[in-house]
């Protein structure tokens, strides 16, 4: 059988078994099977995003009835200095009040690329450096 005969037979079978919906499905699969492309199909990456953890919130959030606020001025300078001392070589992502029990928190990216949060008390003394969840 030649290619036209095979395609015609498949179209007849698709119409007989699934009507127009079967034909549409056949046309899509036939064009995918006969196309020649040097680039991978965009659907090849589907499903890989399920394994990627969701990004951390990008800003202040609310917890325990308290809304965090970004630090500015002297408070920002004191908090970022304390964080830099606690984790040398780190980069500050943001500094804010803390709604989870400490006075302040500074979100950082450590020199090794991992994410962490530096928790500070009211006089900007470092209490803990916590690894970010899932990082």
Mean predicted lDDT score pLDDT of the chain: 71
Read off the pLDDT of each residue in 50-55 and give the average, rounded to a whole number.
38
Q: How confident is the model at residue 40 (pLDDT cuts 50, 70, 90)?
A: very low
Q: What is the CATH number of the domain that holds 107?
A: 3.30.505.20
Q: Same domain, yes or no, for 67 and 110?
A: yes
**Confidence at residue 91, expressed as pLDDT on a 0 to 100 scale:** 96
73 and 117 both lie in a single domain: yes
pLDDT of residue 132: 85
Computed on alpha carbons and rounded to an integer, the radius of gyration of the chain in Å comes to 28
Same domain assignment for residues 74 and 127: yes
**Does 51 map to a domain?**
no
Residues 68 and 22 in one domain: no
Q: Name residue 95's beta-bridge partners.
A: 106
Please indicate whether residue 26 or residue 69 has the higher confidence score (pLDDT). 69
Beta bridge partners of 94: 107
Model confidence, pTM: 0.55
Both 68 and 28 in one domain: the answer is no
Question: What residue ranges in 1-120 does DSSP mark as E strands?
Answer: 62-63, 66-67, 91-97, 104-109, 115-120
Rounded CA separation 59/104 (Å)? 14
Q: Is residue 86 part of a domain?
A: yes
Q: Encoding tokens for residue 75?
A: 């408070």
Backbone phi, psi, residue 99, to 5°: -90, 0
Q: What percent of the chain has pLDDT over 90?
A: 44
| Span 72-118, pLDDT tens digits | 999 999 999 999 999 999 999 999 999 888 999 999 999 999 999 99
* 123 and 73 fall within a common domain: yes
The bridge status of strand 91-97 relative to strand 104-109 is: antiparallel
42 found inside a domain: no
- What pLDDT does 29 receive? 43
pLDDT at 60: 61
| Phi, psi for 92 (deg, rounded to 5) | -80, 130
In-domain check, residue 126: yes
The two structure tokens encoding residue 32: 């995918």
For 121, the 3-state DSSP assignment is coil
Residue 66 scores a pLDDT above 90: no
Please tell me whether residues 70 and 27 are part of one structural domain. no
Query: Residue 21: its pLDDT value, please?
Result: 44
- Number of residues that make up the chain: 135
Q: 66 with 23, same domain?
A: no
Same domain, 30 and 67: no
Total of domains in the chain:
2
Same domain, 31 and 67: no
| Structural domain boundaries enclosing 10 | 1-36
Task: Indicate the SS3 state at residue 59.
Answer: coil
């Amino acid at each position: 059988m030649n290619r036209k005969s095979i395609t015609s037979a498949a179209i007849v079978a698709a119409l007989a078994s699934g009507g127009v919906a079967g034909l549409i499905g056949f046309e899509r699969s036939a064009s995918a099977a006969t196309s020649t492309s040097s680039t991978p199909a965009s659907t090849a990456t589907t499903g890989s995003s399920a394994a990627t953890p969701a990004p951390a919130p990008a800003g202040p959030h609310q917890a325990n009835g308290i809304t965090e606020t970004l630090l500015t001025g002297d408070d920002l300078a004191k908090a970022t200095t304390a964080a830099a001392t606690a984790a040398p070589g780190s980069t500050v992502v943001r500094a804010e009040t803390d709604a989870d029990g400490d006075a302040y928190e500074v979100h950082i990216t450590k020199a090794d690329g991992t994410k962490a949060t530096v928790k500070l008390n009211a006089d900007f003394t470092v209490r803990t450096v916590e690894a970010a969840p899932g990082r």
